[in-house]
Amino acid sequence: MARRENRPAEEPPRPAPRPLTPRIASAAPKKAPPAVKILIQTDPSDLEPRTLLERLKQNFAERASSIMVSLAIHLVALMLLGLVVYQTSEGLEASDGIIATWLTPEDMKDREKQLAQATQVVEIEAVSINQPKVTAKQPESEEGPKAAQADAAIADVPVANAPKVGRALTGRTPEKKESLLKLLGGTRQSEDAVGRGLGWLAKQQQSDGRWELHRGYDNPGRENLRTDTGATSLALLSFLGAGYTHQEGKHKKVVEKGLNWLRKIQKRDGNLHDWEELGRQTAFYAHGQGTIVLCEAYALTNDETLLEPARKALQFIYDSQNEHGGWQYQPGAAGDLSVTGWQVMAMQSARMAGIEVPEDVLARTSLFLNSVSSEQGSRYRYKATDPSTGSSPAMTAEGLLCRQYLGWPKDHPGMQNGVNWLLEDQNLPKWADGKRNVYFWYYATQVMHHIEGEPWDRWNAALRDQIVSNQVKNGKLGGSWHPSKPQGDDHEYGEAGGRLYVTCLSILTLEVYYRHLPIYRQEATATE
């Protein structure tokens, strides 16, 4: 649906938008708003199409002038729009109908002004025909009801207008990787670092095809964050990100074994957790990451044996969504942005693979993003109602990437202001004690890559060579990154996640030049 132009300053302001942003899933009100009532006046029998046409014909014959031709056209538009309102407003009384009388030019101008005030309401009701209805509840922000209402109104782009993603993974093909690397700011050194990293990962794979975070190499992750699903998924994402699949490339046996293990441990309900019970901190992170793997592997190869596992994993995500739109550590739990972001990326990966994602799930996700945002959508925090957590660079980058996937345009004020904040000196990448944050950089790099232009150039120049230069180059650890030299930012979870975790996020960040094509390009091609 085309976006409307801003109205002249002298016109009355439009009513405040509804908290539910995506128009495709807005539930019809039980009573039509007063602005819509301007179309409701007469007997419902007048709504019969034949009656409307006969009355039009009669009046047109009586007033067949050039002026009245114009008025007739306007009247037809008003009648049809009113008909839609009548059919889609559940709370209208049986006696309500449509005005079917001729209007003077002065009356028409007044009516058009009134109609302009009602446009947003009419459009929401009209497009809700045959669309799923959202019943999600909007949690209240700790900043107060007024702030929550203001933030809920910022996502004004319907999910249906999200950028097309069908070609998003085509940059990983061998013929395009080299040209995209050069075109979008990569170097031979950054690509060599990716190659060394994948070589180290291949050596860490277990005989049954999985990887482990918590043991098997120097500086592993903490036992309480153990997740073989998460470790395996992050490793596989790193190989897939460089274009290596179970069908092509020098690492195809490695990828094949990993995919087979992931499918083997999938439960009947679709969940991809391995040994741990639901509710542990790592559980839903791992499931989201595993779902991305299945969707990407299917998208890259069209291997039909991957389609059903991917669909089952996605269905588990849909079934586990909280009523407020987010996800956390177990099905139905109150959401946090860190876990939710991985589920959004999983659903985006599904769309890249041509797998349909329910619009109502995406709509509720937008509601959740509203609840954890502030400053017109330019800042994001971990949870909606936890006063101890303010906005952070890591959560802001994750939130903005989710907004890009759910349809925010490049020039959205919240997107622009958020990007500018992430580019301030205190947030630019620094590989120093207490400053390094590969988790933040992983998200922010994708956001800037999609924005392109000067923001991307500045971010890439600050980050790329720091990651490359701090990779271990030789020995049994060659190709990896140390998780605690220097000690990372608290939000990084570097030491807790361990060497494999930090290595995978570093590889994925260096693959950005070709891993996904920039989302806002109408035609993204790799040309010299």
200 burial (CB, 10 Å; 0-12 / 13-18 / 19+) is buried
Model confidence at 74: pLDDT above 60:
no
For range 143-155, the mean pLDDT? 41
Task: Please compute Rg for the chain using Cα positions.
Answer: 27
Residue 388 has a pLDDT of 61
pLDDT at 98 over 60: no
Give the count of beta carbons closer than 10 Å to the beta carbon of residue 109: 11
pLDDT of residue 385: 72
pLDDT at residue 57 is higher than 60: no
**206 vs 41: which has the higher pLDDT:** 206
Question: Which of 236-245, 301-310, 376-385 shows the lowest per-residue confidence on average (mean pLDDT)?
Answer: 376-385
8 Å CB contact between 399 and 384: no
Residue 486: is the preceding peptide bond cis (ω within 30°)?
yes
Query: What is the residue-averaged pLDDT of the chain?
Result: 77
Tell me the average pLDDT across 77-94: 40
Average pLDDT over residues 479-485: 96
482 φ, ψ (degrees, to nearest 5): -75, 135
Please check whether residue 251 is in contact with residue 237, taking contact to mean a CB–CB distance below 8 angstroms: no
The CA distance from 153 to 146, in Å, is 11
Write out the H or E segment, with its range, that includes residue 451: helix 438-451
Question: Quick one: average pLDDT of 41-53?
Answer: 39
Residue 113 scores a pLDDT above 60: no
Please state, in angstroms and rounded to a whole number, the distance separating the CA atoms of residues 287 and 66. 65
| Predicted pLDDT at 279 | 67
Q: Find the mean pLDDT for residues 445-457.
A: 97
pLDDT score of 100 more than 80: no
Query: Above 70 in pLDDT, residue 153?
Result: no
- CB 287 within 8 Å of CB 316: yes
pLDDT number for residue 224: 87
Can you tell me the distance from the alpha carbon of 410 to that of 425, in angstroms, rounded to the nearest whole number?
Answer: 22
Q: Helix H segments across 205-306? A: 228-241, 252-264, 283-301
The mean pLDDT value for 159-179 works out to 74
Write down the pLDDT at residue 168.
87
Q: What is the share, in percent, of the chain residues with pLDDT greater than 90?
A: 60
Mean pLDDT of 104-111: 47
Q: How large is the average pLDDT for residues 106-120?
A: 41
- The predicted-structure confidence for 361-416, as pLDDT tens digits, reads as follows 999 999 999 999 999 999 999 998 765 668 999 999 999 999 999 999 999 999 99
The pair of three-digit structure tokens given for residue 383, joined into one six-digit string:
């949870």
The answer to whether the CB of 407 falls within 8 A of the CB of 163 is: yes
Q: CA-CA distances (angstroms) from residue 153 to 17, 157, 169, 502?
A: 6, 10, 32, 37
Q: Which of 33-47, 50-64, 475-489, 491-505 has the lowest mean pLDDT?
A: 33-47
What token pair was written down for 248? 């092509």
Is the pLDDT at 97 greater than 60? The verdict is no
pLDDT of residue 295: 98
Task: Show the domains of the chain with their CATH numbers.
Answer: 23-127 (no CATH), 145-515 (1.50.10.20)
357, 342 contact by CB (below 8 A): no
**pTM attached to this predicted model:** 0.71
3-class SS of residue 192: helix
**Three-state DSSP state, 374:** strand
Confidence at residue 127, expressed as pLDDT on a 0 to 100 scale: 26
Question: At residue 166, what are phi and psi to the nearest 5 degrees?
Answer: -60, -30
CA 498 to chain centre: 28
Q: What 8-state DSSP symbol labels residue 6?
A: P
For residue 120, the SS3 value is: helix
Q: How far apart are the first and last CA of the chain?
A: 36
Confidence band, pLDDT 50/70/90 cuts, at residue 315: very high
Instruction: Give the residue with greater pLDDT, 59 vs 434.
Output: 434
* Token pair in block for residue 423: 């580019």
Helices of type H across 353-433: 359-371, 393-405, 413-422
On the question of pLDDT at 421 being above 70, the answer is: yes
For residues 325 and 363, what is the distance between their CA atoms, to the nearest angstrom? 8
380 SS3 class:
strand
pLDDT-derived band at 204, boundaries 50, 70, 90: very high
